[in-house]
Structure 1
Amino acid sequence: MDRTLKIYTKTDHLFAEFVFIYEHPRQAKVHYTQYRRLYNDDEEDENKSVYPGFDTETYLDFRQFDSIEQIKNYDIEVAKKELGRDMTDPRGYNYVYDATPVLLRYIVTNRIGGMVNILFSFAENIKEVKFLSAVHPRFDFDISSNSLETNISCITRIPLYVDRDVLEISSRDLKRLEPWY
């Protein structure tokens, strides 16, 4: 369910960007940036220049969704709630999820160690998870999922082999690196 929603004005200027993040089980937050136009309406602006005007992060109530449509409707509600005072005509905005896959990397910082690569596209409804063990390649693990499952829930399904025990990766043992687009 990790995703990025971009909101564009009627003139195709980027108005806001919402990044929904699920870093811990049953916990959700959104980091959003509201943008301002570089030029006024009366000035010509062919390159659609904007600059960040407001940047903040807030926690949301965790919800498990049954469909992508439910998520999209929820995201629009959150955007209207957070930006409602600045949205002059909520129907005049375009809500877009980029189809370009995003690569997220998590470093596993427990005593076993390793790296988790997650390549996902919310718009395409795909998620590929690859665990690279720091101990031995035989402990590497792959998972395929869809956009309804959080990255953390995929990661907790990865088995960690320690002696004769099988453990799971805790969200507290992860360090998330910056996304790569």
Structure 2
Amino acid sequence: MANLDDPAPPDQSAPQWCSRCRRTAPPEAFVDTSGKLRLSCQSCRARSVVTNRRSRERLGADRVRAVNLRAKYGISVAEYDSLRAKQGYRCAICQRHEDDIPVVASGRPRRDGSPSAPAFKLTVDHCHTSLRVRGLLCSGCNAGLGSFRESVPALLAAVSYLHQT
């Protein structure tokens, strides 16, 4: 007798329904290049890439930056620039001036061969729980906080460790 509390696994060969185009497609169409399962099919994701690229080109680099700052952190370009000035154009942790921070290439190379927009040397640091913006950091300090998962006890343990050696 079948156990109703333990449903059978879904049929891996059955066509799946795409949340964007509302059509069915083979299961392999829902796996991206990294092997992750997605809700939309490969052709819808490809169309989305083209649409997003055209939108960014139409908006221009300055407007894309403004949209990204607002969408990701809830701040305007003026607020970002004000924060930069308030911090003296320095990383809030290591105090390195933005002119002394090497430019790190960001993103993929463009298909048309044109140069990428210049990367900003001070990145917005925010609390991942409250989403509150804390300040601006160089990429090294921002990566360091991320490596410690923003854990104060872990950072204090690292400081203690450094004092021992």
**TM range, smaller chain:** under 0.3
Greater share of strand: 1
TM-score, with structure 1 as normaliser: 0.23
Look at both structures and tell me which one has the larger radius of gyration over its CA atoms.
2
Q: Greater relative contact order (Cα 8 A, min sep 6): structure 1 or 2?
A: 1
TM value normalised by structure 2: 0.25
Considering fraction of residues, name the structure with more helix. Answer: 2
